[in-house]
């Protein structure tokens, strides 16, 4: 049973037995894994603070092909997010990042670009600055959906194929809770979409910029909770449709 050491991000922990924890963690080289950290809930645990949410660690573990859970041996802390805990908005953003990563990433499928995305967004949150939380979570949501392969076309109506970004008459676009993609105004009325929301042209432009630039190079727009709120709602709908459940951190995040 060979030992592995992987750079990892801790996503979630769950009590197990009397003093153990089940740990969900995202590794750079093995994808998302779950393992048992024995005696991790004891005061003098060798894991220390390394199992805190979204801690960046070097995780040492033993993996058997016949078992779903790996056995965690130890973890070496590389970067904690402790400095963000005094900022309520940033703390809720950490919960949001962790929940999406836990729900969206399939087990044991490496995705180095997604791993680097989370590191980049965490670094942006730690850098401070006005509007950092909303810029970070919007950027993360967009790229998480794209890297998961579930980002719909942002320029074309899903129903009729109408081009939404015609320079002469830029179409309004709408999205529904129960379907993926965007719809033009005509298809919104003719298709059985149920309740719909508009994705504004401004937010579509923000999305296109985010797909071209790193988060630290985005045009400053005085980011607030209201900035691109419709884009975040649209992206959350794509995630929830894919995972077939509601994200529990979204209401708290949008109320922060």
Local confidence pLDDT in tens for the 256 residues of the chain: 558 999 999 999 999 988 899 999 999 999 999 999 998 888 778 787 789 999 999 999 998 877 889 999 989 999 999 999 899 999 999 999 999 999 999 999 999 999 999 999 999 999 877 789 999 999 999 999 999 999 999 989 999 998 887 766 577 899 998 888 999 988 888 767 778 999 999 999 999 999 999 998 998 778 999 999 999 999 999 999 999 999 999 999 999 8
Of 63, 80, 97, which residue is a domain's last? 80
pTM: 0.93
Question: What does the DSSP assignment read for 136-201?
Answer: HHHHHHHHHHHHTT-PPPSSB-TTT--BTT-TTSPPPEEEESSS-S-B-HHHHHHS---SEEEE-H
Please check whether residues 200 and 216 belong to one and the same domain.
yes
Domain finish residue from 36, 57, 80: 80
Q: Are residues 185 and 103 in the same domain?
A: yes
196 and 116, same structural domain? yes
Query: Domain residues for 53?
Result: 1-80
Q: What ranges in the chain are assigned the alpha helix state H? A: 88-104, 112-127, 132-147, 185-190, 201-212, 229-243, 250-255
């Amino acid at each position: 049973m060979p030992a592995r050491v992987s750079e990892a991000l801790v996503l979630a922990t769950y009590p197990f037995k009397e003093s153990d924890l089940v740990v969900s963690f995202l590794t750079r080289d093995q994808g998302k894994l779950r393992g048992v950290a024995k005696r991790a809930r004891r005061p003098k645990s060798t894991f220390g603070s390394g199992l805190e949410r979204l801690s960046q660690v070097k995780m040492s573990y033993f993996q058997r092909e016949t078992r779903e859970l790996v056995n965690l041996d130890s973890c070496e802390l590389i970067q904690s997010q402790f400095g963000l805990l005094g900022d309520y908005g940033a703390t809720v953003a950490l919960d949001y990042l962790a929940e999406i990563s836990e729900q969206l990433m399939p087990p044991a499928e490496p995705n180095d670009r997604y791993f680097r995305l989370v590191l980049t967004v965490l670094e942006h949150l730690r850098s401070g600055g006005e509007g950092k939380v909303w810029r970070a979570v919007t950027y993360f949501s967009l790229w998480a959906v794209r890297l998961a392969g579930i980002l719909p076309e942002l320029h074309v109506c899903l129903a009729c194929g109408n081009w939404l970004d015609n320079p002469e008459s830029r179409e309004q676009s709408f999205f529904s809770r129960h379907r993926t993609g965007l719809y033009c105004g005509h298809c919104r009325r003719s298709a059985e979409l149920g309740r719909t929301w508009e994705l504004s042209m401004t937010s579509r432009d923000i999305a296109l910029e985010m797909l071209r630039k790193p988060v630290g190079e985005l045009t400053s727009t005085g980011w607030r909770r209201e900035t691109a709120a419709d884009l975040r709602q649209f992206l959350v709908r794509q995630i929830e449709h894919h995972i077939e459940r509601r994200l529990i951190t979204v209401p708290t995040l949008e109320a922060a």
